[in-house]
């Protein structure tokens, strides 16, 4: 349980507060002066301080300043029976978690302590998540191919030029877009993302441009689109090659004019968003087959950046693998692990059709499934099933046949399993999974919905 330090020169307050907190399971420490309180806060593992404003040796506000000046994020609850509004405001400005007036209510004290400790825990978790998010979004690699990518990023980032990032799935196209934004003059503005392949064709206009209340069934309130949200910043259009042709014409107009109208509105809005696009498709081939507009392609492809697949830059694999292992241990609450000699070489035996994303997932699996602190080459081959026959994927009809069920029930289960496997093979990319299953994307969405798949 957390430890609460009570600093007050009134003995009855120390005894009463300590008793009330102990009955709730808290550990307590007490100090009758500011000096002793500071010493205990420094030497003991304290989670929260309850501090009186009026102390015999040091003013409580000065004690608060000293408690909040260190690196520890220590919550402090101030107490007083004579404080003015000005003192209360000053205490909060200096970082006090709350301010209680004497005489103290036990219920009020317990609620305040619980809330202050909860806020501290949530703040720490949020800070850790932001750190992990920052780590997981890093783009690594010192190969000649990646050095060229970084040179292109540094050249294009300060401009307002549109960028088209190409490369296979899992190569890190979004990370390049984020790096360009973070190095641009727009870095203080928003970075807004839209996966064009993940939005049904009938909703993509609303996603991009927004809509007015009542403009279509289900539009219960006005909604700003991605372009508006990205005003002053960057709009990242991922999988732009999957955008429907009708929507491509409307996007072209916005890029040309810098103006748009929400769905159901006649009001013209001006937007200033830098557009960065990405695709894993050959857009020139798509143009030849009338699936992508040539004029839109030229608008988007002002500066092209191509990301090489991992198999063409295997020299980056050791750096990536070491980093992903460290990250996976942090994210999955595992003890820090390392690779034994030969383990990296075992990882490099694979060609990684899923590229960096596949490597990251493979290393995370090793971090979770290898109990030892050192991951050896045998662990790599055993856990990842490399150098041996692939594990049974339960594709046999025996898995679905059950005399107690109807044919419809068995077919439904088989459909669900096949769709799940296709989505897994395509890293959750619905358009690619639909193509693999030889279905229309809209039909696959409806099928997923009927089967309860997301």
Q: Please report, for residues 29, 43, 51, 58, the alpha-carbon distance to residue 78 in angstroms, rounded to integers and kept in the order given.
A: 16, 21, 5, 14
- SS3 sequence, 240-308? HHHCCHHHHHHHHHHHHHCEECCECCCCCEECCCEEEEEECCCHHHHHHCCCCCHHHHHHHCCEEEECC
Domain co-membership, 302 together with 253: yes
In a domain, 223, yes or no: yes
> Rounded to whole angstroms, what are the CA distances from 246 to 249, 283, 303?
6, 16, 25
Mean pLDDT of 399-425: 73
Task: Based on the fold, state whether residues 197 and 251 are members of the same structural domain.
Answer: yes
pLDDT band at 125 (very low <50, low <70, confident <90, very high): low
What pLDDT shows up at residue 95? Answer: 85
User: The CATH number of the domain where 439 resides is what?
Assistant: 1.10.10
Residue 291 has pLDDT above 90, yes or no: yes
The H or E element spanning position 393 is none
291 and 172 share one domain: yes
**Coil, strand or helix: which one is 41?**
helix
pLDDT at site 70? 65
Same domain for 188 and 280, yes or no, is yes
Nearest Cα neighbor of 277 from 223, 318, 226, 328 is 226
Over 90: is that where the pLDDT of 435 sits?
A: no
Which pLDDT does position 132 carry in this prediction? 45
How far apart, in whole angstroms, are the C-alpha atoms of residue 224 and residue 17?
A: 51
Could you tell me the sign of the dihedral formed by the alpha carbons of 363, 368, 372, 378, in that order? negative
Beta pairing, strands 259-260 & 269-270: antiparallel
CA 358/CA 21 separation, integer angstroms: 50
Last residue of a domain, one of 359, 384, 409: 384
**Confidence at 389, pLDDT banded by 50, 70, 90:** very low
Identify the pLDDT of residue 392: 46
Tell me, yes or no, whether 430 lies in a domain: yes
Query: What's the Cα-to-Cα distance from 34 to each of 30, 50, 67, 92, 117, rounded to whole Å?
Result: 11, 12, 11, 19, 22
CA distance 443 to 441: 5
Let me know whether 186 and 199 are in one domain.
Answer: yes
Based on the fold, state whether residues 331 and 362 are members of the same structural domain: yes
Band (134; pLDDT cuts 50, 70, 90): very low
pLDDT of amino acid 386? 64
CATH number for the domain harbouring residue 318: 1.10.8.60
User: What is the percentage of the chain residues whose pLDDT exceeds 70?
Assistant: 91
Please report the pLDDT score of residue 159 as a whole number: 94
Chain segment 146-170, per-residue pLDDT in tens: 999 999 999 999 999 999 999 999 8
Could you tell me the pLDDT band of residue 397, with boundaries at 50, 70 and 90? low
If one counts every other C-beta atom within 10 angstroms of the C-beta of residue 1, the result is 11
Tens of pLDDT along 41-72?
A: 888 889 999 999 989 898 899 999 888 876 56
Instruction: Give the mean pLDDT of 203-222.
Output: 87
Last residue of one domain, picked from the residues 70, 101, 133: 133
Residue 193: is its pLDDT beyond 70?
Answer: yes
Same domain for 170 and 302, yes or no, is yes
Question: What does the mean pLDDT of the chain come to?
Answer: 86
CATH number, position 74:
3.40.50.2300
Distance CA 210, CA 189 (A): 19
Half-sphere exposure of 166 (CA within 13 A, CB side): 13
Among 127-136, 148-157, 194-203, 302-311, the minimum mean pLDDT is found in 127-136
CA-wise closest residue to 9 among 80, 66, 106? 80
Q: Which domain holds residue 420?
A: 397-451
- pLDDT, residue 390, reads 44
89, pLDDT greater than 50: yes
Examine the pLDDT at 214 and tell me if it is beyond 90: no
Same domain, 105 and 163: no
Q: What is the DSSP string of 350-390?
A: S--TTHHHHHHHHHHHHHHH--SSEE-HHHHHHHHTTTSPP
Greater model confidence, 1 or 159: 159
Domain membership of residue 142 (yes or no) is no
Indicate if 286 and 377 belong to the same structural domain. no
Structure confidence at residue 405 as a pLDDT band (50, 70, 90): low
| Strand ranges for 167-260 from DSSP E | 191-195, 210-211, 223-224, 234-238, 259-260
Q: Are residues 158 and 298 in the same domain?
A: yes
| Number of structural domains found in the chain | 4
Query: Are residue 321 and residue 232 in the same domain, yes or no?
Result: no
- In which band, very low, low, confident or very high, does the pLDDT at 398 lie, cut at 50, 70 and 90? low
pLDDT of the residue at 81: 83
Q: Which of 287, 307, 327 is the last residue of a domain?
A: 307
């Amino acid at each position: 349980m957390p430890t609460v330090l009570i600093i007050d020169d009134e003995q009855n307050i120390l005894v009463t507060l300590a008793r009330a907190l102990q009955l709730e399971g808290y550990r307590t420490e007490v100090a009758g002066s500011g000096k002793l309180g500071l010493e205990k806060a420094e030497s003991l593992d304290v989670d929260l301080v309850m501090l009186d404003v009026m102390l015999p040796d040091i003013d409580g506000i000065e004690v608060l300043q000293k408690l909040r000046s260190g690196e520890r994020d220590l919550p402090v609850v101030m107490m007083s029976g004579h404080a003015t509004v000005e003192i209360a405001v000053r205490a909060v400005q200096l970082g006090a978690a709350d301010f209680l007036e004497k005489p103290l209510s036990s219920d009020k004290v317990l609620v305040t302590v619980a809330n202050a400790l909860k806020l501290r825990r949530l703040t720490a978790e949020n800070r850790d998540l932001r750190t992990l998010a920052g780590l997981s979004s890093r783009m690594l690699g010192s190969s000649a191919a990646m050095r060229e990518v970084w040179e292109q990023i540094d050249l294009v980032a300060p401009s307002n030029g549109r960028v088209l990032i190409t490369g296979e799935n899992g190569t890190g196209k979004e990370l390049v877009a984020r790096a360009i934004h973070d190095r641009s003059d727009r870095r203080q503005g928003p970075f807004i993302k839209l996966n064009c392949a993940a939005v049904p064709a009938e909703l993509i206009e609303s996603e991009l441009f927004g809509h007015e209340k009542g403009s279509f069934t289900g539009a219960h309130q006005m909604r700003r689109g991605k372009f508006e949200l990205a005003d002053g910043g960057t709009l990242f259009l991922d999988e732009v090659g999957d955008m429907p042709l009708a929507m491509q014409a409307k996007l072209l107009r916005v890029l040309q004019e810098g103006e748009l109208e929400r769905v159901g509105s006649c009001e013209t809005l001006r937007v200033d968003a830098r557009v960065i696009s990405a695709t894993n498709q050959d857009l020139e081939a798509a143009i030849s087959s009338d699936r992508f507009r040539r004029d839109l392609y030229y608008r988007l492809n002002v500066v092209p950046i191509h990301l090489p697949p991992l198999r063409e830059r295997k020299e980056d694999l050791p750096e990536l693998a070491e980093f992903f292992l460290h990250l996976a241990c942090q994210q999955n609450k595992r003890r820090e692990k390392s690779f034994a000699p030969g383990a990296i070489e075992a990882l490099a035996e694979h060609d990684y059709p899923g590229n960096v994303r596949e490597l990251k997932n493979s290393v995370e699996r090793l971090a979770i499934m290898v109990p030892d602190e050192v991951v050896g080459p045998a662990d790599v081959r055993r856990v990842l099933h490399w150098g041996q026959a692939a594990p049974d994927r339960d594709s046999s009809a025996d898995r679905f046949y059950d005399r107690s069920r109807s044919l419809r029930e068995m077919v439904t289960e088989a459909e669900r399993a096949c769709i799940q496997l296709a989505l897994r093979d395509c890293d959750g990319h619905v358009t690619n999974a639909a193509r693999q299953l030889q279905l229309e994307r809209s039909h696959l969405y409806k099928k997923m919905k009927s089967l309860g798949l997301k």
